[in-house]
Chains A and B, each alone.
Chain A
């Protein structure tokens, strides 16, 4: 049951992330054209609600997607299983969420 849920959530988050990553790749290529600066980044993002919603969704989806994927890799390649792993991955997800929302708050 738990595994089926993790699998389902992983695929759902992937479906959300796929178009966002494509968009993000486009933004990267656009943004680095004439060098990066804090002013340039902030000019693009500050006060933009659309930016906040899109990248907020991005942060949430990534904070779900990355720990589940990492959990699978650690189980299969490192042999780490059980509650300890699940707790560690939960914390990793929370860390990503916290740092991601902090970054979002900083640029909005």
Chain B
């Protein structure tokens, strides 16, 4: 095995969250696909195929078209080349957050990612999201992502007493909450985050970002519970800011988590352990 092949294997093992052997990509340019290759350039597409942790890269030739998205490419492979390819999508317009995959080493929402923007010399490498168990091919099991979200108490708890004072859009807390509410739960930040990879008990950027919006919501009745929950995990954020780099809706979870750290810091100092817990 050449050094290059070894290198790509380790890269694949890290980024895809899966391991296995890699075959050199020799795409079947000559295969019959029903397209006129003389007028259409071919994309060389490597896709991770396999179940669970076992799998390998397979190559497909896909015609390149104008304004083609990565999801279009994957769909083409399933419809015209190999119907057994497993992947997940729903809305196709960047709202539902279900089509996230690792594209050329970086987690992306494939329905809004143009091939022309991410392909390297006409090549694409598509694998499942990192940090989540692979079900098959490009489909990961999202359960751990949402279970951690639940365990982080990142859900709205209605205030037992009605909030009389109207929430104004311009007030600082509301602005802080507004900055984080456009999350589409795509788990792209979760896949990009090294702290998630390093700490099994780290809730991840998305859940903590949601927690921060709740802490800033006056209508929420369990601020203390939210901060208690935040205190068990938010310090594991190492401010790499990968989440902010990759977030498709341009949120900045690192800022949100920094806010949680500040509040946890204050809350911890406000109640020393020798005073006991309330």
Contacts and interface: CB of A to CB of B under 8 A. Distances in A.
Interface of A: 1, 3-8, 11, 75-77
Contact of B232 (A4, A11, A76, A77): A4
A69 to B, nearest CB: 11
B265 A8 contact: yes
A7 B232 CA distance: 10
A5 B265 contact: no
Given A3-B231, A7-B261, A7-B264, 13 more contacts: A1-B231, A3-B232, A4-B231, A4-B232, A4-B235, A4-B264, A4-B267, A4-B268, A5-B273, A8-B268, A11-B265, A76-B195, A76-B198
Nearest to A79: B198
Nearest to A8: B268
Interface string B228-251: 100111010000000000000000
A7 B265 contact: yes
Contacts of B269: 8
11 contacts: A1-B228, A4-B231, A4-B232, A4-B264, A6-B235, A7-B264, A8-B268, A11-B265, A75-B199, A76-B198, A77-B198
Q: Would you call the interface of chain A mostly helix, strand, loop, or mixed?
A: helix
Nearest to A4: B231
Interface residues of B, number: 16
Contacts of B267: 4
B234 to A, nearest CB: 8
A8 B264 contact: yes
A4 B269 CA distance: 10
B199 A3 contact: no
Interface in B183-235: 195, 198-199, 228, 231-233, 235
A76 to B, nearest CB: 4
Nearest to B195: A76
Most buried by A among B198, B261, B268, B273: B268
Contacts of B265: 7-8, 11
Interface in B253-278: 261, 264-265, 267-269, 273, 277
